[in-house]
Amino acid sequence: MLASSLLANYCTELHDDQTHKVDKYLKILQLSDETLMDVSIRFRREMDKGLCKDTNPSAAVKMLPTFVLSTPDGTEQGEFLALDLGGANFRVLLVKVMADGEQKVEMENQIYDIPEHLMRGSGTELFDHIANCLANFLEKLGMKDRKLPLGFTFSFPCQQTKLDESVLLSWTKAFKSSGVEGKDVVSLLRKSIKKRGDFDVDILAVINDTVGTMMTCGYDDHLCEIGLIVGTGTNACYMEQMRNIELLDVDEGRMCVNTEWGAFGDDGALEDLRTDIDREIDAGSLNPGKQLFEKMISGMYMGELVRLILVRMTKEKLLFQAKTTAELLTTGSFKTSYIYGIDNENNEEGLASAEKVLRGLNLDPSVEDCIATQRVCQIVSTRAAHLCAATLVAVLRQIRDNKAAEKLRTTIGVDGSVYKNHPEFSRRLHKMVRRLVPDCDVRFLQSQCGSGKGAAMVTAVAYRLAAQNAERQRILDTMCLSREQLLEVKRRMSEEMVRGLSKQTHEQASVKMLPAYVRSTPDGTEHGDFLALDLGGSSFRVLLVQVQSGQRHKVKMHQKIYSIPQETMQGTGEELFDHIVDCIAAFLEYMGMRGASLPLGFTFSFPCHQSRLDQGILLKWTKGFKASGCEGHDVILLLKDAVRRRQEFDLNFVAVVNDTVGTMMTCGYEDPKCEVGLIVGTGTNACYMEEMKNIELVEGNEGRMSINMEWGAFGDNGELDDFCTQFDHIVDDTSNNPRKQRYEKMISGMYLGEIVRNVLIDFTSKGLLFRGKLSERLKTRGIFVTKFLSQIESDRLAMRQIRSILQHLGLTGSTIDDSVLVKEVCSVVARRAAQLCGAGLAAVVDRMRENRNLNQFSVTVGVDGTLYKTHPHFSSIMQETLQDLAPQCHVTFQKSEDGSGKGAALITAVACRIKSEGQH
């Protein structure tokens, strides 16, 4: 307590009066909320500079990548060694991490001295000493024969190039060991361990103390994604989106960035806020002009700031009757730890501490002097806490913006003597952070075990990630096809095409190679009005196509889309075709053409057997259709019967084609070289112009005819068994048509989402994704629609949008790492689909080239289908594969803009043209 003589003079008025005087004197050190917000905005700009490749070299805030990719998720387990070097002694730790139902960590550690001659001697001797201490520690535990993973906390400025590679930029904190700056400290340690030869460790990670703090706290609180140190020095780190770290060429996932924020202001960004006292501190320091922000905040300088202010006030006759002492004038005599006692919410205790400290400096303080000293301490430490809050707020806003979250909920792991020992500092810091970002729910968690445990946690996480990565890669590798495998797919497809064309083997062939009876592509003289129907999914189109002769490419179209209810798709054939005719009647009514009789082309995108152009016998329903009484029947007759039942109009049925042939014809109208049609949408199929002499099912050897390959069934005889994975088998077994359309099930839009969903379920059940927690929605068949693949793989789509898709699937707790993984799964599944499609197409174009005895062959492929059109990478991967597997073919791709309905009308127009030519 204050000496009773001083206490007698103490009263509230005196206190307020003295406080007011000091406040007036130190007005420049008291920062308003507006000023702090401005500091925060400036720091955010400095962060951007440090993250940007072009501005990083000149940036004061270096934003160093740490190669720490993930915080703990609670599933880490095992035994890990840690070294913690950052001062005159260092610690060796053995950390046992357990995850059996509950998270538990057991630690054993020993502190070793580093003699001063080693701190200033040769680097080799320093690292030999560290290796000797490590050996001693392992010897005591009887563990020298085991090779354990080790994490190394090395709290000096370093440039990291990998998690286990860190080049020392410059020694600080009284270290001056020669031959270490500019070298990788992990290599130096490995060398010293190897020299001993009596034990070995697996050095997995090197980190600084800030990252160690974040990881230590991250083990106890999975929301922790910021590390803060306010001790002798100050620094912060946080989890940043990889796409923002331009120094690395990676777009996905997160990495911890070590801001090295102590250097904020080294480029002049804080000049207007630095006072003469700050400049005096800097001038007298070991590193003038460097770490200017740190010099306004950290424990190394806070006490000295107070001393310099007291000296100035004394010289200006405001304190101690204008009498200084040798002790007060000695640099470093007012320790930062003194402030912890003086700046106390209990005024009297604080004043008693002030009196004790001042008397220790040989001063004879009055009660006014004690009150003034207490206020100086409060102002200096409040400014430090508030400046620290301003920069923290910039980090919080960056994380919030990265996540596009309206309200951010996060945890900051904190360590350091100032934060831990100065009770008012932490309270002021928390309060100001919450005031400046009311839209962030921030929890501060004090690190209990220091950064050594953090190094072990980084190692544990690296160990977990490596094991999980290896397992994930093993699973995904089963879906990656080599060039040899793709060439084999091409060879088998070619074989099946031959079997499908041959009379002898046609019945057994999986690829049916059905003649489509389309003998000619448009020549531009077609003209007239034609109706077209396009049925291939849960909606169908009725079109009026008006073709004008003499002007190629002059086609007018009117169309309407009608839906087919699920019960109609799976009811009776009569109901289905009556519904179609009702829609045709509605369309004619809408067009004001009621009762008109027009030539009609019918695009019917299901496997059919044709023996002429205007007949199509349905072989089997696909794509979810199940209408009874249709398989084995001619769909044109079923349609004619329905028209007859309605007795309202008559139609001239000219052609039935499938969507693939329709697509080829539509594109053929624009480009006469188009002789291949390809669909990659809900289903997949291809057609092409085959030589008549090879089509054994049709009489005649002259000219060519379009072949509807029905290639979706490739593999139904086991041709793809050695390429199918466990996921393909699950999708096939649970489909409407098990062991049918095997090729289609590996390629088309109807199934890719299902393959992805099953991979995600497998990963989750193995704890490789979503922290092992499966949502009920993800268990629902068909919930992961294929359009998600296209959205997720869109290069413009940020990870947060992928997260919103995952939230829609009930995965509300998914992380950025989960999003990266989901994207990778989508990418692997889509890539395989595009490559398989490319291999099949290579077989087709190479066959056409050989048919025509050409060394080089140019052809256009007309393409349609949502997967091809909307997936950002499918088309380019498919084309790359095709070019690689059929190098003698020059293939151009043309997207069909008007769908296969227009193709049906053009086939009808060509048939009408040929018919009328035959009559003349």
Residue that has been written with the tokens 């095992």 in this structure: 78
Sheet holding 78-85, edge to edge: 104-113, 89-98, 78-85, 148-154, 201-207
User: Which helix (H) or strand (E) covers residue 755, if one does?
Assistant: helix 749-765
> Phi and psi at residue 243, in whole multiples of 5°?
-65, -20
3-state secondary structure of 763: helix
**C-alpha dihedral, 575 to 577 to 578 to 582, nearest 10°:** 130
CB atoms within 10 A of CB 139: 12
Gap between the Cα atoms of 130 and 120, Å rounded? 15
Whether 304 contacts 331, CB under 8 Å: yes
Pairing assessment for the beta strands 201-207 and 148-154 based on DSSP bridges: parallel
Catalytic residue among 464, 541, 742, 913: 541
- C-alpha span between 890 and 875 (Å, rounded): 16
Q: State the alpha helices, DSSP H only, in 221-259.
A: none
What's the Cα-to-Cα distance from 899 to each of 518, 557, 661, 673, rounded to whole Å?
Answer: 18, 11, 11, 18
Choosing from 605, 748, 775, 790, the catalytic residue is: 605
Round to whole Å and give the CA distance between 364 and 350.
17
Relative to beta strand 158-162, strand 617-618 is unpaired
Strands (DSSP E) found in 478-527: 514-515
DSSP per residue over 229-287, as a string? Answer: EESSSEEEEEEEEGGG-TTS---SSEEEEE--GGGTTTTSTTTTT--HHHHHHHHTSSS
Which DSSP state fits 197? -
Does the annotation count 762 as an active-site position? no
Among residues 659, 728, 817, 898, the one annotated as catalytic is 659
On whether the CB atoms of residues 528 and 553 are closer than 8 A, the answer is no
Tokens of 734: 């649970």
Question: Is 541 designated active site?
Answer: yes
The secondary structure element, H or E, covering residue 338 is helix 336-342
Q: Which helix (H) or strand (E) holds 762?
A: helix 749-765
CA 805 to the chain's CA centroid: 13
- Written as six digits, the tokens of 238 are 């946080």
DSSP character string of 778-801:
GGSTT-S-HHHHHHHH-TT--HHH
Rounded CA separation 172/159 (Å)? 15
Composition of the chain by helix, strand, coil, percent to 5: 50, 20, 35
Query: What is the C-alpha radius of gyration for the chain, rounded to an integer number of angstroms?
Result: 38
Question: What are the angstrom distances between the C-alpha of 223 and each of 323, 393, 455?
Answer: 54, 17, 19
- 455 contact partners, CB below 8 Å, separation of at least 6: 82, 83, 84, 93, 151, 152, 153, 205, 207, 212, 215
What does the alpha-carbon distance between residue 138 and residue 855 come to, in Å, rounded to a whole number? 71
Our measurement of the distance from residue 513's CA atom to the centroid of its chain's CA atoms, rounded to an integer in Å, reads: 43
796 annotated active-site: no
In the structure encoding, which two tokens stand for residue 15, read together?
């206190």
Q: Which residues are catalytic?
A: 541, 605, 659
